[in-house]
Structure 1
Amino acid sequence: MQIAVAARDGTTLFDELVDPQDAVIEPDAIKVHGITPDKVRGAMTFSALLPRLADVLHGRTAVTYGALDHEVFERELARHFAD
């Protein structure tokens, strides 16, 4: 739903909403982060954002907010590179 990358000094390097395509945004998730289906309508897909995200992450260590974020990020990378 949203991907952000910050440098160690706190500078925002990447901050984009993501179209989850066929995934449902659960009501409990909306309560936590406030991202609704209306907010992501028209956003780019993960695949469309990946080239720019890869450039931003190149040479950096990626850290996710939590286990679920890590799982989703890995799943999306696997789906993108499955071909």
Structure 2
Amino acid sequence: MKSTGIVRSVDNLGRIVIPAELRNVLGIDKQEPLEIFINGDQIILQKYQPNTEKEEVIANLQKMAFNAKSPNVIETIDRAIKLIR
């Protein structure tokens, strides 16, 4: 995980502002839905993708893995699929 060095406080209503620089770099537009995940004591924000799009990406990755010749490529694709799910 890469540190940005940016620290923000939670306001009285429980909100955190995502700095404009990060939103621009990550392509997060105003009113864009973000999905919230929990990993231990971490809160992870991710652009929301409907499950149909995720499943389509997974299916394409599985096809790529099936046609791949390199064990490293196959392992990387398998890891990507696990991360997406």
TM-score by length of 2: 0.27
Larger radius of gyration: 2
Give the TM-score normalised by structure 1: 0.27
